[in-house]
Amino acid sequence: MMEPIFRVKVPATSANLGSGFDTMGLALSLYNFYDVLALDEPGAYKVEVYGEGAAELEKADVNLIIKSYEQACSEWGMESPGLTIRCLNAIPFYRGLGSSASAIAGGVMIANALREDPLSVEELLPLMVRMEGHPDNIVPCCLGGMVVSCMNGTQLRYVRLPSPPKEISAVVAVPEVHVSTKDARQALPAQISHEDAVFSLNRAALLAASWAVGKWENLTWAMDDRLHQPFRAKLFPGGEEILEEVKKVRGCLGVAISGSGPSMLALTHGSPREVAEAMCRLFTKNNLRSRFFVLSVDEDGATIEKVAEEEEVVA
Ligand code: HSE
Q: What is the CATH number of the domain that holds 24?
A: 3.30.230.10
Ligand 1 centroid from CA 184, angstroms:
8
Residue 109 inside a domain? The answer is yes
d(CA 49, ligand 1 centre) in Å: 25
Burial track 73-84 (b if 16+ CB lie within 10 A, e otherwise): beeeeeebbebb
Q: Does 151 fall in a domain?
A: yes
Q: Which residues have any ligand 1 atom within 6 Å of their CB?
A: 15-16, 21-22, 134, 136-137, 181, 184-185, 259-260
One domain, residues 223 and 276: yes
Same domain, 172 and 155: no
Confidence check: pLDDT of 174 > 70: yes
Mean pLDDT of 287-293: 96
Mean pLDDT of 198-203: 98
User: Residues 81, 189: one domain?
Assistant: no
pLDDT band for 35, please (50, 70, 90 cuts): very high
Co-location of 150 and 242 in the same domain:
no
- 86 and 191 housed in the same domain: no
What was the pLDDT predicted at 94? Answer: 87
> In the chain, pLDDT over 90 holds for what percent of residues?
86
Residue 86 has pLDDT above 60, yes or no: yes
* pLDDT one-digit tens code per residue, 238-281: 999 999 999 999 999 999 999 999 999 999 998 899 999 999 99
Q: Are residues 131 and 200 in the same domain?
A: no
Q: Are residues 155 and 10 in the same domain?
A: yes
**Average predicted confidence (pLDDT) for the chain:** 93
Q: What is the pLDDT of residue 313?
A: 45
pLDDT over 90 (residue 28)? yes
CATH code at position 291: 3.30.70.890
Contact 177, 189 (CB under 8 A): no
Q: Average pLDDT for residues 167-184, to the nearest whole number?
A: 93
Domain presence at residue 1: no
Residues 222, 178: one domain?
A: yes
On whether residue 18 sits in a domain, the answer given is: yes
| Owning domain of residue 287 | 168-295
One domain, residues 83 and 67: yes
190 has pLDDT over 90 = yes
- pLDDT score of 314 more than 60: no
CA 228 to ligand 1: nearest atom: 5
- What's residue 315's pLDDT? 43
Assigned domain for 259 exists:
yes
Closest-lying ligand 1 atom to the alpha carbon of residue 98: 8
pLDDT reading at 60 higher than 60: no
* Nearest protein CA to atom 6 of ligand 1, as residue: 260
Query: Does pTM top 0.85 for this prediction?
Result: yes
188 with 75, same domain: the answer is: no
Of the candidates 45, 34, 28, the one whose C-alpha atom is nearest the C-alpha of residue 5 is 34
The count of structural domains within the chain is 2
Q: List CB contacts of 133: < 8 A, sequence separation 6 or more.
A: none
Does residue 306 sit in the same domain as residue 172?
A: no
Q: Would 178 be classed as within a structural domain?
A: yes
pLDDT-derived band at 234, boundaries 50, 70, 90:
very high
Let me know whether 114 and 244 are in one domain.
no
CA-nearest residue, atom 3 of ligand 1:
260
213-225 pLDDT, tens digit per residue, is 999 999 999 999 9
Q: How confident is the model at residue 62 (pLDDT cuts 50, 70, 90)?
A: low
Alpha-carbon Rg for the chain, nearest whole angstrom, is: 20
Compute the average pLDDT of residues 10-17. 98
